[in-house]
Amino acid sequence: MDIFRAILTNQLLIIPLLTCVLAQIIKVWVDTISHRKFSFRFLVSTGGMPSAHSALVAALATGVGQTLGWNSPEFAMATVFALIVMYDAAGVRQAAGKQARILNQIMDELRNEKFHEERLKELLGHTPFQVLVGLLLGVFSSLFFTPLFAKISY
């Protein structure tokens, strides 16, 4: 039982996860406003505004800096990890989404020729702006929640 309590009171785990959930909720809200229709799909999907991946890793890196020090090796590792995840979200995954869009267009054109493959998921990555907003959400969430969490935990 002490293991579960330690996990559930680990602010470097809980705050980034809560930030990720918050980003997913914001995605649903943004999608509802932009499409004027409520849909739960962004609650469990990748892509969209803001980047939940960026928010999670930014909250983690910020929390590590706040807790263990801005010059600690752990902060350096968390920051490098965050940069890799954000680069991937805006770079590699965005390119994969563009390729999926083109392949879907080709499949649509060939459908009459007995080509019956499933459509590929096009919304995989993020624009640089979506990653930036996720980064800011993660940093501000950690800056806001870490002091509150410390008061609650003790």
Measured CA to CA, the distance from residue 99 to residue 111 in angstroms comes to 18
Least confident of 14-28, 33-47, 59-73, 132-146: 33-47
- Better-scored residue on pLDDT, 126 or 79: 79
Measured CA to CA, the distance from residue 30 to residue 125 in angstroms comes to 16
Range of the domain at 7: 2-153
CB 146 within 8 A of CB 18: no
Number of residues that this document lists for the chain: 154
Residue 121 Rama label (left phi>0; alpha psi -120 to 50; beta)? beta
Examine the pLDDT at 96 and tell me if it is beyond 70.
no
Q: What is the pLDDT of residues 101-133, one digit of tens each?
A: 776 677 666 666 655 566 655 555 778 899 999
Q: How many domains does the chain have?
A: 1
What global pTM score does this model have? 0.78
Q: Write the single-letter amino acid at 127.
A: T
